[in-house]
Structure 1
């Protein structure tokens, strides 16, 4: 698992400990089956960008070589 710099910064300061646990659980779920989540890349883009949503968080990621690269993390609410 690889986290982009901005994702690392966001994960370092979640709104609550519960939020941090939720995003980690979502990342683990995505890592197990990354292509089960919708592809949201822009038309013509060669990068495969996917998004996954939890109850209070979301992540944007790229699957590659049996791993995922987390590009963005967001909090709902």
Structure 2
């Protein structure tokens, strides 16, 4: 479907729904196509995405630091 800029302005919600349903939506200015409305692909976020690629022990961030590490973290040596 090709629509003019003014028609796109007036019917943006309907055009977005059309694009989401898979219809090709082209916006034209003076009869020449200038833009295309396409849906943005959404990926599901998955926790632990790289867990198989990590090696070694996973640090426990809630565990207390040893005295030497704590001193270095706080700027002392």
Which TM-score applies when normalising by structure 2? Answer: 0.25
Q: Which has the higher strand share?
A: 1
CA radius of gyration, larger in:
2
With the length of structure 1 as denominator, give the TM-score of the two structures: 0.25
Higher relative contact order (CA 8 A, sep 6+): 1
